[in-house]
Amino acid sequence: MPTVSEEWLIKDLKSKWSSGGISSSEKIYLDAAQGSILSSSMATAARTGADEVSALAQKANQELQEIWSKIDFTSYTALAPYEVDAIFASQGITQAQFIDTFQTETNQTTTKMNASAQAFENMDKQLQEVIEKTVATDKQLGKEFRQWKEKM
């Protein structure tokens, strides 16, 4: 997230831009700053979402396992435990169906969310590298960037 001074600097440059008083270096800085803020914010949001999904999936998997473990197949006196187990299984209620299928789904969702977060983090890193290369190739622009960052 941008600091108060970064936001002020960006607003100052935007107002100069709208009045036609912005230099080409300032325009590049403004574009770079906005891109940097946007990409880092997107990467942070994606990682936060992926971490929340992971935590929720872990909790749900644990709670489901606890529910399954509370089923007592030996409490039925008229039937043997294996007969009770077979009756549940004939209705599609098995540990594999009840728990494993659910855990497979939550694991796949968690994997997809982590992959998306990683993609946003990679994009952010690439954008930051491009900005740094741009600054490094133009000595005057680099000098102005450093001065603007010192003001922040």
Q: What is the pLDDT of residues 45-73, one digit of tens each?
A: 999 999 999 999 999 999 999 998 888 87
In tens, the pLDDT along 125-140 reads 999 898 888 777 766 6
Segment 78-105 shows an average pLDDT of: 89
d(CA 116, CA 124): 12
d(CA 98, CA 65): 9
- Give me the DSSP letters along 81-136: HHHHHHHHHHTT--HIIIIIHHHHHHHHHHHHHHHHHHHHHHHHHHHHHHHHHHHH
Per-residue pLDDT at 117 exceeds 80: yes
d(CA 93, CA 36): 51
Residue 134: burial class (beta carbons within 10 Å; 0-12, 13-18, 19+): middle
d(CA 58, CA 38): 30
Q: Which of 121, 110, 112 is nearest to 42 (CA)?
A: 121
Helix/strand number for the chain, H first, E second:
6, 0
**Percent residues over pLDDT 70 in the chain:** 77
